[in-house]
Amino acid sequence: MKAHTILFLAASLLVCGCDSKTAQERLDEASLQPYTNIPPGTLVLVRMRAPVADYTHIDTAGQPRKYDFIFTNEYIFEGIDYGSAGLRNTNDTKTIYYSGSMVVSITPIKK
């Protein structure tokens, strides 16, 4: 390949953008922005949502009733990375990352 062809391809990538983030990833990052100031190691109360399908209530189209189940738990806040909140159970050493769309709220607990 000629040098000007390689230069043109490189410039095209820069102009077109190399943002490989999906719309969902950008939404996850935006929903966690209010919690970026929480220091790692803080005990927090987290409310999360999980989609649920209730197969005991089937509608006329044969579809189950769907809703969000909200649950609350205490975690050790480990930080935010790539649109996910790193949370560790208070009795465990493993950190699990939950997407920003799952998190309803994160509240630091004062002890």
Structure token pair of residue 20: 């490989």
Where are the strands (E) in 10-63, listed by range? 42-58
Confidence of residue 91 (pLDDT cuts 50, 70, 90): confident
> Taking the model in full, what pTM does it have?
0.71
Confidence of residue 22 (pLDDT cuts 50, 70, 90): confident
Burial of 101 (0-12, 13-18, 19+ CB in 10 A): middle
Q: What percent of the chain has pLDDT over 70?
A: 81
As a three-state string, the secondary structure of 97-109 is EEECCCEEEEEEC
Q: How many CB atoms neighbour CB 106 within 10 A?
A: 20
d(CA 97, CA 99): 7
The single-letter code of the amino acid at 44 is: V
